[in-house]
Amino acid sequence: MTATAIETRADHDAAGEKVFNDLIAQDMRIEPRDWMPADYRKSLTRQISQHAHSEIIGMQPEANWITRAPSLKRKAVLMAKVQDEAGHGLYLYSAAETLGTPRDQMTEDLIAGKARYSSIFNYPVLTWADIGAIGWLVDGAAICNQVPLCRASYGPYGRAMVRICKEESFHQRQGFEILLELANGTPEQRAMAQDAVNRWYAPSLMMFGPPDEDSPNSQKSMEWKIKRFSNDELRSRFVGMMVEQIKVLGLDLPDKDVRFDEESGRWEHGPLDWNEFKEVLAGRGPCNAQRMERRREAHEDGAWVRDAASAYAARQAAKHTTKAA
Ligand code: BYC
């Protein structure tokens, strides 16, 4: 590179950085062709691809229950929910691709065990009430975390989140309704609902990520207005929502330490087992191996679809080339 070329590149970066900082300061959106710092691109690709993987892996625990759902209506609703999650994965992979990483690469990383997906999907789904608890607690936590992401500074991510959040609201309602019906059913059904809430409560609080003091990405992410609130702020907000909703269910939160702290204006909760969280992130949760194995199988089983789509695309492209000539 010549000295002038380097100078021009440096000038370009300096001008780009200024526009980027101004846009962030004015709460405006960064779009794919805009200049952005390499770390912003990297961190967004990390977060959005992890989010996409979570949606795709998240289909597994619920899909396992479609054939066992207790009525035709419940099967249809659950099937629609699982299909929604697939759609969320696709919007998010598309949003991540606008940052320059091809989707095939992201899939390879997931399958090779190099990429993360949400800790929550490494827990077993033992009863039908778990499907209610997942909808109510897991999708509830997802909404609480993701509504602020509708205002994320990166345009394609924020826009994808708007649609995702609308669908998550339905998901939460269906989970709540399953639990409500069980809570008002026979003593056995009620006990099953309480047991599911007991098992999913702590893992759903951990979905918000590690405590703020152990969250290496939060500070930069908040400066860049990707995240608008810290992990602990959102976790506390979620606890406050659950405290009210559990009253309607007539069940109990398995946490005697929940209380509103007037001084901080935050909901407090009991201690969480962060060692368990670390184990799950390290691939040693109850279902990590099973989820990854199933994902790899699905990828291999889908090879013929990818091959057929590529062959079709190549034929179409050849047709256009012939026509143009
Ligand atoms: N699980 O510095 P931190 C759904 C990782 S899908 C696994 O606080 P950040 C649904 C984190 O990635 C729900 N890993 O990170 C789908 C980081 O590792 P790296 C998925 C976690 O990014 C189907 C390290 O720990 N939602 O709802 O500032 C059916 C340090 O963390 C977790 C999203 O993905 C975790 N729970 O904040 C039903 C939302 N937490 O990358 C429902 C979008 C943290 O440095 N993502 N880690 O190696 C986010 O909002 C943020 O990425 C997080 C973490 C709040 C999750």
Q: Residue 172 falls within a domain, yes or no?
A: yes
Question: Which residue's entry shows tokens 């077993």?
Answer: 124
Q: Residue 183 falls within a domain, yes or no?
A: yes
Q: Which pLDDT score is estimated for 7? A: 65
Q: Residue 92 falls within a domain, yes or no?
A: yes
Cα(89) to centroid(ligand 1), Å: 14
What does residue 165 show for φ and ψ, rounded to 5 degrees? Answer: -65, -35
Those residues with Cβ within 8 angstroms of residue 260's Cβ, 6 or more apart along the chain or in another chain: 240, 266, 267, 268
Checking if the pLDDT of 1 tops 80, the result is no
Residue range(s) defining the domain that contains residue 125:
37-273
Checking if the pLDDT of 323 tops 80, the result is no
Averaged over 94-105, what is the pLDDT?
Answer: 97
Mutate to test the pocket of ligand 1, among 44, 215, 273, 280 (most ligand atoms within 8 A of CB): 215
Q: Residue 248 falls within a domain, yes or no?
A: yes
Cα(51) to centroid(ligand 1), Å: 7
With a 6 Å cutoff on the Cβ, whether 230 touches ligand 1 is no
How many whole angstroms separate alpha carbon 174 and alpha carbon 84?
A: 13
Q: Residue 310 falls within a domain, yes or no?
A: no
Cα(22) to centroid(ligand 1), Å: 28
Q: Residue 296 falls within a domain, yes or no?
A: no
Q: Residue 252 falls within a domain, yes or no?
A: yes
Q: Residue 200 falls within a domain, yes or no?
A: yes
In percent, the amount of the chain with pLDDT more than 90 equals 94
Checking if the pLDDT of 68 tops 90, the result is yes
Q: Which pLDDT score is estimated for 252? A: 98
Nearest Cα to 29, choosing from 20, 37, 41? 20
Nearest ligand 1 atom, CA 81 = 29
State the CATH number of the domain containing residue 116.
Answer: 1.20.1260.10
Cα(117) to centroid(ligand 1), Å: 7
Those residues with Cβ within 8 angstroms of residue 190's Cβ, 6 or more apart along the chain or in another chain: 182, 183, 184, 251
Confidence of residue 9 (pLDDT cuts 50, 70, 90): confident
How many whole angstroms separate alpha carbon 231 and alpha carbon 211?
A: 6
Least trusted range by pLDDT, from 10-24, 128-142, 185-199, 234-248: 10-24
Confidence of residue 5 (pLDDT cuts 50, 70, 90): low
Averaged over 70-90, what is the pLDDT?
Answer: 97
Residue predicted with more confidence, 64 or 322: 64
Averaged over 22-28, what is the pLDDT?
Answer: 97
* Number of domains, the chain: 1
With a 6 Å cutoff on the Cβ, whether 58 touches ligand 1 is yes
Checking if the pLDDT of 320 tops 90, the result is no
Question: Which residue's entry shows tokens 């050849």?
Answer: 318
Checking if the pLDDT of 191 tops 80, the result is yes
